[in-house]
Amino acid sequence: MTSINQNQEAIPPTLNHVIGQERVIQKLRVAVESSFADAEALPHTILTGPAGTGKTMLSKVLAKEMAGEFFEALGQTITSVQTLNGLLMCPVLPNSVLFIDEAHELTPSIQVALYKALEERCVFVTNEQRQSVQKLDLRPFTLILATTDPQGLLQPLRDRMKLHCQLRRYSIEDIELILAQKINQLGWEVGEGVLHQIAVRSFGTPRLALRLMESIRRTARSLGDTNLSVHHAKATFEVEELDEAGLNSDERQYLTILSESVRPMRLGVIASRLGQPPEAVAKVVESNLLWLGLLDRSDRGRSLTPKGMDHVRGSKVLSTQIIQEGEQ
């Protein structure tokens, strides 16, 4: 079954209230103003970038900006052309937004059916009882595809997306502003320094930062407190086994394994020692290490950078410096 979600959760009311991603916001703002001037729906859009950087949030904001309905589905749940056709016929009101998350999970045959439907602005529905095929015109709407792997989309489908937006990880300052915005919405009380401690461990990802903030609140409430203090943050980081840069036990073990070899190590060897599948290690464990500049990945294998070796040796380098250098 296709998952369609129209939750009205708290999101920024307009693009002007979105924190960070300035270039993307500028591009989307121009598209919105142009669409209103021409009385047309927004152009079909593709949002790429790391997980947790706000692709779903931006899609919902665009639907609000255009005063249209919002429909959401996961790429892996669209398993047949019939399911796809049903989803494409959901938008009825003007300026509606149809959002497909993890679009790279769509099979090639579904992607072909999708871009043909966009091109012809119709779908073909088979009536098995009458043994006939009925053509149904689609109402104008905006398709937004979100993906962390744009290469998983067929080129013809990418070509039909008129607006391409690349989201990037956020700065520490932007993460703090996002957390402060959420704190104001929830009415929580937070001590000085807590948001910064969260931000430097979030790897530039708002989703992770918000999850850490919720974990700290659970720690505070378990102790009968309402104010989130640095003490609560420290206790939470210890329970979740996060170091000063936000690395978890798997990521630290990965670095330790590499530090024991004077030559680059193959992914399969590292994955075997971690007890995890190579694909999971490459996509999950290595992601933050690469962004922080602790890991070098080449055809020869994996090796530590000087910064990575310093981290393993217990270097006193401030985590904020590590993060900021990783952003460059």
In tens, the pLDDT along 106-141 reads 999 999 999 999 999 999 887 666 667 788 899 999
Same domain? 20 vs 151:
yes
Collapse the DSSP code of 146 into the 3-class scheme (helix H, G, I; strand E, B; otherwise coil) and give the result. Answer: strand
pLDDT of residue 10: 63
The answer to whether residues 118 and 159 touch, using CB atoms and an 8 Å cutoff, is no
Strand order in the sheet with 70-74: 70-74, 97-101, 142-147, 45-48, 163-166
Residues 149 and 205 in one domain: no
What range does the domain containing 299 cover? 249-327
Q: What are phi and psi of 185, to 5 degrees?
A: -65, -40
Condensed to tens digits (0 to 9), the pLDDT of residues 213-247 reads 999 999 999 999 989 999 999 999 999 999 999 99
Which residues touch 176 (CB under 8 Å, ≥6 apart)? 195, 196, 199
Task: Render 287-321 in DSSP notation, one character per residue.
Answer: HHHHHTT-EEEETTEEEE-HHHHHHHTT----HHH
CATH code for the domain in which residue 199 is found: 1.10.8.60
Is 151's pLDDT higher than 90? Answer: yes
Tell me: the pLDDT tens digits for 4-49? Answer: 343 335 688 899 999 999 999 999 999 999 999 999 999 999 999 9
Helices (H), 10-143: 22-38, 55-65, 81-88, 108-120
- 42 and 112 in a common domain: yes
Which of 122, 146, 166 terminates a domain? The answer is: 166
Q: What pLDDT, on a 0 to 100 scale, did the predictor assign at position 2?
A: 38
Determine the pLDDT at residue 129. 64
Rounded to the nearest integer, the mean pLDDT of the chain is: 90
- Please give the helix or strand (H or E) that residue 228 lies within, else none: strand 227-228
In this prediction, residue 326 carries a pLDDT of: 46
Cβ 265 vs Cβ 303: under 8 Å? yes
Structure letter (DSSP) for residue 282: I
Angle at 22 between CA 20 and CA 26, to 5 degrees: 140
- Asked whether residue 6 is assigned to any structural domain, the reply reads no
Domain count, the chain: 3
pLDDT of residue 154: 96
* Inside any domain, residue 2: no
Confidence at residue 128, expressed as pLDDT on a 0 to 100 scale: 62
Strands 301-304 and 295-298: antiparallel
* pTM, 2 dp: 0.84
The residue among 167, 146, 139, 165 whose CA lies nearest residue 31 is 165
What is the structure's pLDDT at 68? 93
Domain end residue (candidates: 146, 166, 186):
166
* C-alpha gyration radius of the chain: 23
